[in-house]
Structure 1
Amino acid sequence: MKISQDVPGNATFAQEDSLPRVPLPTLEASCERFLAWCAPLLNPDERAATEAEVTAFLRPEGPGRVLHGALEAYDAAKGVHSWLDTFWPYRYLGRRDRIALNANFFFLFKDSGQPQVERAAGLIAGAVNYKRQLDQGLIPPVVQRGQPQSMVQNKFLFSATRIPGAQQDTVRSPYTEEWPGPSEARHIVVFFRGGMFKLDVLGPDGVPHSLDDLEAGLRAVLKAGAEPTGAATSVGHLTTMARAEWAAAREALLACHPRNADALDDVETALFCVALEDFAPADTQETCDQLLYGDRGNRWFDKAVSFIVFADGRAGINVEHCELDGTTILSFTDALHSTPAEEQSQQSGARSQGLPTLEPIVFELDDALRAQVRSAADAFAAYGAATATSTVSFEDFGSKAAKTLRVSPDAFVQAAYQLAHQRAKGHLGATYESIATRQYRHGRTEAMRVVTPGIRDFVTAMEDPAADADTRRAAFRAAAEQHVARAKECQLGQAPEQHLWELELIQRRRGAELGVREQPALYRTPGWLTMRDDYLSTSSAPSANIQYFGFGSTSSRCIGVAYVLLPDRFNLYLSTPLAVADQMRTFADRLREAVAELRELLGSERPGD
């Protein structure tokens, strides 16, 4: 999907074309790094087999040269922002499983102490103000370490919706050739008890409704939706299906009755969704679970942004991941919470205009569609029940404590994860960590693999009863140094996985044309398969406005580790398939022990050591 020209004079996006391009590594560099990255997870025979296929891949007339040459030509083509321009749509829009729980992520916001309606109205007012600032170019580009960051993802915050496809999904959004410039939609979609309502948050002249108006509109929704919708008529359930199945169901919706096209249009063009829940979760973990995969027909998982507000006023956000990464949602979340709702409303120019226009969104369903909705609801409920989750909270540890131990906070927690994993499962395993690369044009993330030789040696030292404290500390310091160095490489785009993966995808798309008719053997080597078989999938979201961050695991034995590491606290949300729930719980116990053990080990270090 191509982005149209930016709105003239919009300072938010003005620097995008002047950002440096994502560097395309050389083929030799990526192959060398690949061998180094997978080596700690392989035995000698597996390393030898992998090295042999890398050599074949690299030979002068080998498949690697042909595929990389095609990628170089693409990167130099007119209108291409990055050599990853086709990678990202495949990675996110090409997946065929369900995105609910598997791909979408959530943030649990800090508590406000407000009742449900006031909390929801405040979030709506803040989001509307953010959109107004975005449309007018009043949000300055994020700057990190003196480098402006790509702001393109902000174009997908409002009125963006993923559309299911039989082979690959698409995105319906503003700032495209089909829909130039920012969204002019004036409504949101509010869910309550499985019912869907179109609620105008901007008046006919585009002026935002006041907070009082919004609260009145939400109360009208609660009244109109007081009678729960039957499970067979809550069409939002269909968005939990595998993508090709949902695509077929969407076509059936359109064919069933002309009114359904209008209903879909109302949902897909809405600025965002707000789900009002009629219950208060029992505890923090249940709140997180509800944000990740709670449903009751009360979600449209294809919507870019959905706020969820519970009956007790606790709130969070569920995000569709295809065009939005955590860093963009962090900035959005911080903007919503850094200024009181009353002030946000005033900044937006909101004024009292009476009760906002409110209309139910009704889909006409035949018996087959009703059966499909009911089946999707049951299947997703079972899928959620087959997922085990856990929250882990360290009230006495955070980045400040790590820094007093003279170590990178992220290196500290990643070392603790590896030690805990070794003790929980008896071995190290491939670990993914997301590294932001938004300092580049249309930059998103890079895939870091955490298990280095230093990590392996550190875990070995910690598990060796004969190793003394000095030996263990030295091994930890070496591991932390290697971790920081690798993270910096990834930030600079010097990482092998996405590069080699895109070469594989080029072979799938264009192999016959390029004369590379078979998948190169490199992609069947122990190194490639082992390095990418996640046992831990980790990502961080550091914001004082977030209590927890979470996502689903990525494989049948993977533990998803989403963490909020702040100066004075460290909160994690873990997820894994139910079949290996005991291992996840053991991992959580061992992690608590590992953090305490490493703090004691490093804290007893003598000055000058």
Structure 2
Amino acid sequence: MAEAHQAVAFQFTITPEGIDLQLSHQALRQVYLSGLRSWKKRVVRLKNNVITGVYPASPSSWLFVVIAILATMYTRSDPSMGLIAKIQEHLPVSDSLSIQCRTMVSAVLFSTLLWLSLIFTMRLCLKQLLSYHGWMFEQHGNVSNTTKIWAGMVRIFSGRQPLLYSYQGSLPNLPVPAVKDTVNRYLESVRPLMNDSEYERMTNLAKEFEGSLGNRLQWYLKLKAMWASNYVSDWWEEYVYLRGRGPIMVNSNYYGMDFLYVTPTPIQAARAGNTLHACLLYRRKLNREEIKPSRVPGLNVPLCAAQCERIFNTTRIPGVETDSLVHWQDSEYVAVFHRGRYFRLWLYHAGRMLSPREIEHQVQSILDDPSPPAPGEAKLAALTAGDRIPWAQARKDFFSAGVNKRSLDCIEKAAFFVALDDDEQGMMGDDPAGNLDRYAKSLFHGKCYDRWFDKSFTVVLYKNGKNGLNAEHSWADAPVMAHLWEYVMTTDCFQLGYNEEGHCKGEVDSSLPRPQRLSWDISAECQERVERSLTVAQALADDIDFHVYPIQEFGKGAIKKCKISPDAFIQIALQLAYYRNRGTFTLTYEASMTRLFREGRTETVRSCTSESYAFVKALESGESKEVCRHLFRAAAERHQNLYRMAMTGAGIDRHLLCLYIVSKYLGEESPFLKEVLSDTWRLSTSQTPLQQVELFDFVNHPDYTTCGGGFGPVADDGYGVSYIIIGENMINLHISSKFSCPQTDSHKFGAQIVQAMKDLLMLTSPEKPDGSKKENHFQNKKHL
């Protein structure tokens, strides 16, 4: 093969005259340039480590302190109060240096110690300041003097021009709530879901746990919190994600969509060129730590960036008992799947990043390649879509040596995975709503063998130029991937762009090596295991009922006029819609971040509260508008308070999970914890926030609207609801359920959610002259 010959740096033959050595200067040059790029990255990483290590000070501030101390000494005063003299006495080379040199060295050492002490003090002060969360519980527009002083001090101690990881050492650790507080909050959360006898029974179990086993388990958690950066995150990653033995496709992975109304180019290879190049630009900014640290909107409060470290070059490796996450420092290529074949596509040449036009050319060569897949190759990725134990066993039996191991290593060590689909997707044709649903399902699971579900993420590119992604969940949460995808989409369209023919801009280097086809030797027994995994995955994928509902009739602007938090508004609408859908209430999961703390991930907001229960009951029973308004605002305020508590470390579920894990390590059985952990989340919800608003111009480019993404239902008889608030006038819903459950219907539930929102807007709208007639119509209208 031509690419194999180009990869050989030298050849030699043995002759009667000796060894004939032939060097390939071109190949050696490529080796040199690749190594040079690698060393440049190491130098940048070392420099960033130094800058981050001394933040919020800067390395240049050391020189300022040294000069200040020396200048003070020359004025015949001793700023060290005798410490410089003490250091001078104990210098190991004091006899070989002059008095002036000894004084200079001692002053520099003292200055360095003083500088490090100042850095430590500043970090400690910033950490204490960031531990204050009173600002979150204050009314909008009614900020206390304490919070104003605190905000000013945070700005002073935050330093200037922080790198991505500059704040990591200053973030506070996640606190361990008191057992009593967690138990009481849990009982409050389940009260609307239980009758009196069930609630009394659960109260007795909770109080027994609190007074006996709970305190002993809590002691271990406090010990872990003192030792570890975060007492939750490692156990959350391992026990919630990596130890799951079922398929991660549908159950764990999630997807993100392209622009809703715009496809920048209809040429698949061109869209791939810009998309992959934008991913590389983001990775370069990530490696250089040039991405601005995420902050709480409107404040200078930083969020933890630890999850960003594993966006690229990361793969989930299957195991019999538990999976593992493996991250490599760098990778210069991506693995590409097209029509059942796998390719290695190099993204760097001669030490430089390929241009979008060059990547387009390389992708087009893959699309034009007529070679058929090897026996068993086409559906190989189904192993990553099925149960984990069969995949772990197959990996050990068939991919631990030889050509299969080399090809599998190539996929797993790739920067990310790319799927070139022959389908056309998007909101198009005579059935835009139905096609949008099919687009979501395609991104979510595809054909069950055309996505490598173990990779940190898979970029999917369709024949008509549409794109999207599928992401593995264990290494990070959705906002981290959403940050990358926002950058990729806007860079693709507004920075890189296309020429008039729809191709990427730029020229192509004719010396580029062609993408390398990966080789496989898949035995008949391995093919049987692939088919078994595919059968499991296909049954799971066929059961998913997906509906994407773009709401354009109203948005955040209309909700804010009601003086209600948009998130609380939507969550209460979900409670109302679910009650109309099922005639009952259910345990509701809403994901909230805990990235105010070091290595924080998520916490659960239990959105079904006694206040939302009372409001929905009153509304559906025909209570007056005034009563319903009062109950609605009480429910919204309660939800907001729960959300704030979850963000500030006073949540329920992560604490209970860790207590349960400790009980298992100790071999202790707790009826209370066992029942808590067996609760079913029939309504699982999450908001995908738009983080980089400055990248989108919804006024001048209203069609360039991101559609967000979605995930699968947690319970077989429940719903998964993801929503994203776009600008002032749009909300996108992604609703999932299972066809096998006769009580669930994603399309019907989507319509009920929208109707619930409209009813809430009507409820909170100002009275009109014919308000009495409007009220009667509102009370007597028939709901879906």
Q: Would you call these one fold, judging by a TM-score over 0.5?
A: yes
Summarize the alignment of residues 68-147 of structure 1 with structure 2, pairs less than 5 Å apart. Answer: 68-77=218-227, 80-110=229-259, 111-114=262-265, 115-144=267-296, 145-147=299-301
Check if 1:263 corresponds to 2:407: yes
The separation in 2 between residues aligned to 1:519 and 1:558, in whole angstroms, is: 29
* Deviation of 1:404 (Å): 1.2
Residue 53 of structure 1 is matched in structure 2 by 205
Check if 1:32 corresponds to 2:193: no
Please point out which of 731, 736, 756 is paired with 1:575: 736
The separation in 2 between residues aligned to 1:143 and 1:384, in whole angstroms, is: 37
* Deviation of 1:296 (Å): 5.5
User: Aligned letter for 1:476?
Assistant: F
User: Aligned letter for 2:316?
Assistant: R
The separation in 1 between residues aligned to 2:563 and 2:535, in whole angstroms, is: 51
Please point out which of 484, 497, 510 is paired with 2:640: 484
Check if 1:593 corresponds to 2:755: yes
Q: Tell me the percent identity.
A: 26
The separation in 1 between residues aligned to 2:292 and 2:604, in whole angstroms, is: 27
Alignment deviations for residues 195-235 of structure 1 (CA, whole Å, 9 cap, x no partner): 11100001242x10111110010001112256466666432
Question: Which has the larger displacement, 541-550 or 555-564?
Answer: 541-550
Checking the alignment, whether the CA contact within 8 Å between 2:339 and 2:378 is kept in structure 1 is no
Check if 1:446 corresponds to 2:603: yes
* Deviation of 1:389 (Å): 1.5
Q: CA 1:296–1:327 in 2, change beyond 3 Å: closer, same or farther?
A: closer
Equivalent residues, number: 578
Check if 1:406 corresponds to 2:563: yes
* Deviation of 1:352 (Å): 5.2
Q: CA 1:313–1:231 in 2, change beyond 3 Å: closer, same or farther?
A: farther
* Deviation of 1:344 (Å): 5.9
Q: CA 1:431–1:295 in 2, change beyond 3 Å: closer, same or farther?
A: same
Please point out which of 333, 337, 348 is paired with 1:202: 348
Q: SS of the residue aligned with 1:547?
A: coil
Residue 469 of structure 1 is matched in structure 2 by 625
Q: CA 1:224–1:452 in 2, change beyond 3 Å: closer, same or farther?
A: same
Summarize the alignment of residues 155-170 of structure 1 with structure 2, pairs less than 5 Å apart. Answer: 155-170=309-324
Check if 1:385 corresponds to 2:529: no
Residue 65 of structure 1 is matched in structure 2 by 215
Q: What TM-score, normalized to structure 1?
A: 0.90
The separation in 2 between residues aligned to 1:403 and 1:102, in whole angstroms, is: 34
Q: SS of the residue aligned with 2:199?
A: helix
Residue 320 of structure 1 is matched in structure 2 by 472
The separation in 2 between residues aligned to 1:23 and 1:361, in whole angstroms, is: 49
Residue 178 of structure 1 is matched in structure 2 by none
Q: What TM-score, normalized to structure 2?
A: 0.71
Checking the alignment, whether the CA contact within 8 Å between 2:193 and 2:585 is kept in structure 1 is yes
Q: CA 1:52–1:429 in 2, change beyond 3 Å: closer, same or farther?
A: same
The separation in 1 between residues aligned to 2:570 and 2:633, in whole angstroms, is: 13
CA RMSD of aligned residues (A): 2.3
Q: SS of the residue aligned with 2:734?
A: strand
Checking the alignment, whether the CA contact within 8 Å between 1:58 and 1:64 is kept in structure 2 is yes
Check if 1:427 corresponds to 2:584: yes
The separation in 2 between residues aligned to 1:225 and 1:507, in whole angstroms, is: 58
Checking the alignment, whether the CA contact within 8 Å between 2:589 and 2:604 is kept in structure 1 is yes
* Deviation of 1:342 (Å): 8.5
Checking the alignment, whether the CA contact within 8 Å between 2:375 and 2:522 is kept in structure 1 is no
User: Aligned letter for 1:237?
Assistant: A
Checking the alignment, whether the CA contact within 8 Å between 1:209 and 1:353 is kept in structure 2 is no
Question: Which has the larger displacement, 388-397 or 497-506?
Answer: 388-397
User: Aligned letter for 1:323?
Assistant: W
Q: CA 1:603–1:323 in 2, change beyond 3 Å: closer, same or farther?
A: same
Question: Which has the larger displacement, 109-118 or 439-448?
Answer: 109-118
Greater gyration radius? 2
* Deviation of 1:357 (Å): 4.2
The separation in 2 between residues aligned to 1:535 and 1:479, in whole angstroms, is: 20
Q: Which runs of 5+ in 1 are unaligned?
A: 175-181, 512-516
Alignment deviations for residues 358-407 of structure 1 (CA, whole Å, 9 cap, x no partner): 11122211111011112222332222111212122211121111101211
Question: Which has the larger displacement, 95-104 or 145-154?
Answer: 145-154
Q: Flag the structure with more relative contact order, 1 or 2, with Cα contacts below 8 A and sequence separation at least 6.
A: 1
* Deviation of 1:472 (Å): 1.2
Alignment deviations for residues 479-499 of structure 1 (CA, whole Å, 9 cap, x no partner): 111111111111111111110
Summarize the alignment of residues 143-292 of structure 1 with structure 2, pairs less than 5 Å apart. Answer: 143-144=295-296, 145-174=299-328, 182-183=329-330, 185-205=331-351, 207-224=352-369, 227=372, 233-255=378-400, 257-281=401-425, 283-292=435-444
Alignment deviations for residues 313-334 of structure 1 (CA, whole Å, 9 cap, x no partner): 1111111000121111121112
User: Aligned letter for 1:29?
Assistant: D
Checking the alignment, whether the CA contact within 8 Å between 1:74 and 1:83 is kept in structure 2 is no
* Deviation of 1:605 (Å): 4.5
The separation in 2 between residues aligned to 1:20 and 1:529, in whole angstroms, is: 28
* Deviation of 1:353 (Å): 3.9
